[in-house]
Structure 1
């Protein structure tokens, strides 16, 4: 398998899943700063020009959560997805919660602080998105009361996706009122096969 990635993007979610599974894969960097994602050869893999992308033989999967789910289902013996119907529904629930209620406001913050041309940035949007993130993080803080993992008694791909997103929120200084989420995030990143933290990924780029 080949993973097209670029730190510190959502590629971390896909890499984390691969590392937890112990699956051999070839890592191919798509340097977004250098514009590699606009090259025709990469656009053939993902017409959206975004990472991550996973190539498994003649099959291509894009979108980080879809990649994580595909890998977990490809290797069911690793038990990164529950077989119980209700627990699987809970995994889906928290995956969707993560990418809609938590990731979406974080992405808006990034767009209006660095991605958009300065003339198009709206500071009010940054403040609004930050409040929205904190409101939904508080919901998750309550859910994590007495829990080690977001669903059930064992790790699932929902934990990898969520921990990365919380790290993103922590980098934006939005987790100060959520000690349980911070503790959970730190536990997840202390796992032997965890992916690099966002700050580590940024530092590795800066050191080149």
Structure 2
């Protein structure tokens, strides 16, 4: 099994899942800063030119949510995806909520603060996206009152995805009104097999 990854990106979600599963895998670093994701050899693996990519035998799988769900289903004995139908549906619900309602505003902020050329950045969109994130984070903040995990009473892949996304939000100072989410995020990253936090991942690029 190979994981094509770049440390600070959503690759973290997949690495975290693999580490929690205790699965051996080969890490293949794709240096986005050096443009390696645009090279023909990588585009043959993922024509979208993005990471992460998981290669498992003949299967080539892209999109971090699809990959973590695949891994959870491949190793059902590890319990990272509930067997109960209703709880499994809730995992899917919170995975989709995280990627649509929380992650998309963060992407907009990133684009208009660092990714787009300066002349194309819209400061007003940063303010709008920040408020959209805060509004939706409040939904999860209330959900996490007196909860250890997003769904049920044990960790699932929904937690790895949520914790990474909250760490991203924390990097841009959007969790100052969300004490439950900050406490939850810190608990998740204190797990023995947690992936590196985003700041650690960036630091590893300079090592």
Tell me the TM-score normalized by structure 2.
Answer: 0.99
Show the 5 A alignment for 1:193-204.
193-204=193-204
Give the superposition deviation at 1:7: 1.2
- Pairwise CA distance, 1:204: 1.4
Q: How far does the alpha carbon of each residue in 1:83-119 deviate from its partner, in whole angstroms, 9 at most, with x for none? A: 1111011000000000000000000000001111111
Displacement of 1:169 in angstroms is 0.3
State the alpha-carbon separation in 2 of the partners of residues 13 and 194 from structure 1: 10
Contiguous gaps of at least 5 residues in structure 1? none
Alignment of 1:1-150 (within 5 A): 1-150=1-150
For residues 50-90 of structure 1, what are the alpha-carbon distances to aligned partners after superposition, in whole Å with 9 as ceiling and x for unaligned?
Answer: 00000001101101111100000000000100011110110
Distance (whole Å) between structure 2 residues aligned to residue 74 and residue 163 of structure 1: 22
Match of 2:161 in 1: 161
Once the 2 structures are TM-superposed, how far is the Cα of residue 132 of structure 1 from its aligned partner? 0.3
RMSD: 0.5
Q: TM-score, normalised by structure 1?
A: 0.99
Instruction: Name the residue aligned to 2:184.
Output: 184
- Residues 143-183 of structure 1 show CA distances to partners (whole Å, capped at 9, x for unaligned) of 00110000000000000000000000000100000000000
Deviation readout 1:10-33 (Å, 9 max, x if unpaired): 000000000000000000000000
- 1:173 equivalent in structure 2: 173
Aligned length, in residue pairs:
207
